[in-house]
A and B are shown apart, each in its own frame.
Chain A
């Protein structure tokens, strides 16, 4: 009986899963404080920011809080990554379909490597962005605390003045990770098929 799980099937699944980054946020930063029952949630998507349904303009609310300590305004329109990241994803999805067409081990492996490197670069870019955002403070800020910086954690939880900040990946990142795992499986199965064929 021919196995249903073929490298082609796995790679198509990887491409479909990658599209999940458009349906779910990649990361979530939660700010908890007494005056914000339930916390303020900032969802970071591949192409935008969002808050809780009905919770108001999250970027505006965070900017209002941050201006007291001199953090830069978050202006989604001026963040280039939000504009070109979606095209990178479209590109990778197209490339994924090309590998399905080729159905070669090297093709799957190449996709796997590019996608993994892009993922790591993405996280590194996010880290740099948060570092700048947390360290590059306005010297005229109303509230200045010697030696204090406000970089949110990349992964984990941390006290920042009156806020307890949590930062964790969300469904988008999970989909992306599973997509990479599937492309790895596609590579592995294809290689195994070739080995079996040679025997």
Chain B
């Protein structure tokens, strides 16, 4: 049978596809040079040079990796409940998930921001946003524990967050989805009339790190996507990209991609601060939650706040400006000197780089092309430093090496491009596998980058690792950028979907890392700070078990007199005072989770017995040679039975009578 022309063409295309695939495959292997392995190799027992903190995206958490080894050091539970250690399930941490929508147990973490002093990372705190139900969380970098979550009211999709100013004065954020403010029942098609945007400024207490929503700026109903704050000479200004200036509310992929240019919002936050001081802000009723861990008790406490201060650019001149940016910009990054602002139009073939000096001159000279809701729009050309011509396709994010170079990820052409910021010249291109989103250079967005490594966080994994079914781990790639050309030295899988990451020299965190909590500083109301204080107290149908853990027993480990219908609270205090001796606690049939309790800490698990019987509980963290013996029983009797409350260890049993004696003894000694 003779082949038809079409068949021939199909065969030709097929062969071509196979050839191209084979070539690209070979490329991905051959880019590795001989000594790459040794560059990323950190010998057993040696430490990494940098901590890298990667957001978890849909995991809701943050992970800490070592660089250059790519070793996972810890997953820090932040904005998703974490049954592994009881975060969000224990009585102490439940309140962390309170919002004006009730308990919201999951969120989508995107952008990591480390606190800064003088435009450099100082290693005090880590901030990360929750995209879905807008929140900003703070992690204490001495303990790697989440200590605060602040809800942001009247916004939706807090993607554009939380970007820190150079002395950690503020975290700036903007709404990704404009919504009716205040929320109300209106037709979606009334978007243009009813939907508004907000840019939020969260202040940070320099002593405690505590966050407060200081003011919000009323903005047109666009989608605010990403932001950076100025540094050095541009300190005091924020730059935020917007897309959907078309104000589409359906099929955004088409309808929000019509205009040739969207906008970069430029905010003079020092001016905004003055307006707030002058009382130009308007108080508005709203509702949002502030959840904070009490340092003394280590219990999270929630507070509802019902007012917010709004600044309207129409009443506050010289506070907000716009400048056009080609085609749906995404990333917005400021170089280390604070001179240039890179706007990445993700549908544009070119990149626009703005000059802070020219922007200021244009503002000074009122070089405006018009205004939107009272916000002047600066002439595009007037603020432009220049255009980087055809660097690649789909520019997303840019970081800097401190040597005058910028590195930008290109999602569509799947590469990282190195270019000279001043001269706008392309210096190098390297493929990534595949389609990078964010990238990170240690300190790469600060005034002092450590331009040694670059990590590209890829959105597509495909064939990089052994397959694991349809769902694959996301992939990160480490490049050595110390030379003229970027050199791929390591691939490593990551948890969740890392969006942004920040990396910091280990020396800024390692010396301050806490080893355990001092038992004498434990102010938990249900702590038993010694085995002698272990007890069981009934208050109506609530039973409080003050339990202690020390290698290798729980005290008490026999409990009787629990009745059906009781709510049992196991308050476990870990009495250890040494590094790396956590104890765990699990009880059969617990409908919530388990507990991991660090030395000196108290954590509480609520347990509602399901049926009468005798149930086992045990330590879940292999703590010692006799860990397997670290267990006990709780007896549950039918409602109304006359089994007396009794508890003990090693057959030295106590009951309510001995408890009264214990309490009297305590009173006498006080």
B-binding residues in A (CB < 8 A): 54-57, 60-61, 64, 68, 142-143
Rounded to whole angstroms, the CA-CA distance of A3 and B516 in the bound complex is 57
Expressed in whole angstroms, the minimum distance between the Cβ of A78 and any Cβ of chain B is 16
Rounded to whole angstroms, the CA-CA distance of A57 and B576 in the bound complex is 9
Instruction: Tell me which residues from 558 to 613 in chain B have a Cβ below 8 Å from any Cβ of chain A.
Output: 575-579, 599
Is B300 an interface residue, CB under 8 A from the partner?
no
**B516 x A56 contact (CB < 8 A):** yes
Q: A55-B578, A61-B578, A64-B551 are in contact. List 15 more A-B contacts (CB 8 A).
A: A54-B515, A55-B579, A56-B515, A56-B516, A56-B576, A56-B577, A56-B579, A57-B577, A57-B578, A60-B575, A60-B578, A61-B577, A68-B625, A142-B626, A142-B629
Expressed in whole angstroms, the minimum distance between the Cβ of A39 and any Cβ of chain B is 13
Expressed in whole angstroms, the minimum distance between the Cβ of B443 and any Cβ of chain A is 28
Interface of B is mostly: loop
Q: Which of A56, A68, A142, A143 contacts B578 (CB 8 A)?
A: A56
Rounded to whole angstroms, the CA-CA distance of A55 and B550 in the bound complex is 17
Nearest 6 pairs between A and B by C-beta?
Answer: A57-B577, A56-B577, A56-B578, A61-B578, A64-B551, A60-B577
Expressed in whole angstroms, the minimum distance between the Cβ of A51 and any Cβ of chain B is 10
Rounded to whole angstroms, the CA-CA distance of A54 and B551 in the bound complex is 20
Rounded to whole angstroms, the CA-CA distance of A142 and B629 in the bound complex is 11
Which residues of the other chain, B, contact A64 by a CB distance below 8 angstroms?
550-551, 576
Expressed in whole angstroms, the minimum distance between the Cβ of A49 and any Cβ of chain B is 14
Rounded to whole angstroms, the CA-CA distance of A61 and B577 in the bound complex is 7
The residue on B at minimum CB distance from A143 is B625
Rounded to whole angstroms, the CA-CA distance of A54 and B515 in the bound complex is 8
Which residues of the other chain, B, contact A56 by a CB distance below 8 angstroms?
515-516, 576-579, 599
Rounded to whole angstroms, the CA-CA distance of A64 and B515 in the bound complex is 18
**B577 x A68 contact (CB < 8 A):** no
A-B contact pairs, 21 of them (CB 8 A): A55-B578, A55-B579, A56-B515, A56-B576, A56-B577, A56-B599, A57-B577, A57-B578, A60-B575, A60-B576, A60-B577, A60-B578, A61-B578, A64-B550, A64-B551, A64-B576, A68-B552, A68-B625, A68-B626, A142-B629, A143-B625
Interface of A is mostly: loop
Rounded to whole angstroms, the CA-CA distance of A56 and B629 in the bound complex is 25
Against A, the Cβ 8 Å flags (1 = close, 0 = not) of B536-561 are 00000000000000111000000000
Rounded to whole angstroms, the CA-CA distance of A60 and B531 in the bound complex is 13
The residue on A at minimum CB distance from B45 is A37
Instruction: Tell me which residues from 636 to 660 in chain B have a Cβ below 8 Å from any Cβ of chain A.
Output: none
Which residues of the other chain, A, contact B578 by a CB distance below 8 angstroms?
55-57, 60-61
Which residues of the other chain, B, contact A143 by a CB distance below 8 angstroms?
625
Rounded to whole angstroms, the CA-CA distance of A64 and B576 in the bound complex is 9
Which residues of the other chain, B, contact A68 by a CB distance below 8 angstroms?
552, 625-626
Which residues of the other chain, A, contact B550 by a CB distance below 8 angstroms?
64
Which residues of the other chain, B, contact A57 by a CB distance below 8 angstroms?
577-578
Which residues of the other chain, B, contact A60 by a CB distance below 8 angstroms?
575-578
Rounded to whole angstroms, the CA-CA distance of A54 and B599 in the bound complex is 14
Expressed in whole angstroms, the minimum distance between the Cβ of A55 and any Cβ of chain B is 8
Which residues of the other chain, A, contact B551 by a CB distance below 8 angstroms?
64
Instruction: Tell me which residues from 513 to 548 in chain B have a Cβ below 8 Å from any Cβ of chain A.
Output: 515-516
The residue on B at minimum CB distance from A61 is B578
Expressed in whole angstroms, the minimum distance between the Cβ of B6 and any Cβ of chain A is 71
Rounded to whole angstroms, the CA-CA distance of A56 and B625 in the bound complex is 21
Expressed in whole angstroms, the minimum distance between the Cβ of A163 and any Cβ of chain B is 13
Expressed in whole angstroms, the minimum distance between the Cβ of A67 and any Cβ of chain B is 8
Rounded to whole angstroms, the CA-CA distance of A91 and B279 in the bound complex is 73
The residue on B at minimum CB distance from A142 is B626
Expressed in whole angstroms, the minimum distance between the Cβ of A161 and any Cβ of chain B is 11
Instruction: Tell me which residues from 43 to 57 in chain B have a Cβ below 8 Å from any Cβ of chain A.
Output: none
Expressed in whole angstroms, the minimum distance between the Cβ of B143 and any Cβ of chain A is 15
Which residues of the other chain, A, contact B516 by a CB distance below 8 angstroms?
56
The residue on A at minimum CB distance from B575 is A60
The residue on A at minimum CB distance from B629 is A142
Expressed in whole angstroms, the minimum distance between the Cβ of A199 and any Cβ of chain B is 66
Expressed in whole angstroms, the minimum distance between the Cβ of A71 and any Cβ of chain B is 14
Which residues of the other chain, B, contact A61 by a CB distance below 8 angstroms?
577-578
Which residues of the other chain, A, contact B599 by a CB distance below 8 angstroms?
56
Which residues of the other chain, A, contact B552 by a CB distance below 8 angstroms?
68
Expressed in whole angstroms, the minimum distance between the Cβ of B523 and any Cβ of chain A is 18
Rounded to whole angstroms, the CA-CA distance of A143 and B551 in the bound complex is 14
Rounded to whole angstroms, the CA-CA distance of A55 and B516 in the bound complex is 9
Rounded to whole angstroms, the CA-CA distance of A51 and B577 in the bound complex is 12
Which residues of the other chain, B, contact A54 by a CB distance below 8 angstroms?
515
Expressed in whole angstroms, the minimum distance between the Cβ of B4 and any Cβ of chain A is 73
Rounded to whole angstroms, the CA-CA distance of A104 and B577 in the bound complex is 53
Rounded to whole angstroms, the CA-CA distance of A57 and B529 in the bound complex is 14
Rounded to whole angstroms, the CA-CA distance of A64 and B549 in the bound complex is 12
Rounded to whole angstroms, the CA-CA distance of A54 and B575 in the bound complex is 16
Rounded to whole angstroms, the CA-CA distance of A51 and B592 in the bound complex is 40
Expressed in whole angstroms, the minimum distance between the Cβ of A69 and any Cβ of chain B is 11
Which residues of the other chain, A, contact B626 by a CB distance below 8 angstroms?
68, 142
Rounded to whole angstroms, the CA-CA distance of A68 and B578 in the bound complex is 17
Rounded to whole angstroms, the CA-CA distance of A143 and B516 in the bound complex is 28
Which residues of the other chain, A, contact B515 by a CB distance below 8 angstroms?
54, 56
The residue on A at minimum CB distance from B514 is A54
Which residues of the other chain, A, contact B579 by a CB distance below 8 angstroms?
55-56
Rounded to whole angstroms, the CA-CA distance of A154 and B1 in the bound complex is 99
Rounded to whole angstroms, the CA-CA distance of A18 and B576 in the bound complex is 37
Rounded to whole angstroms, the CA-CA distance of A57 and B550 in the bound complex is 13
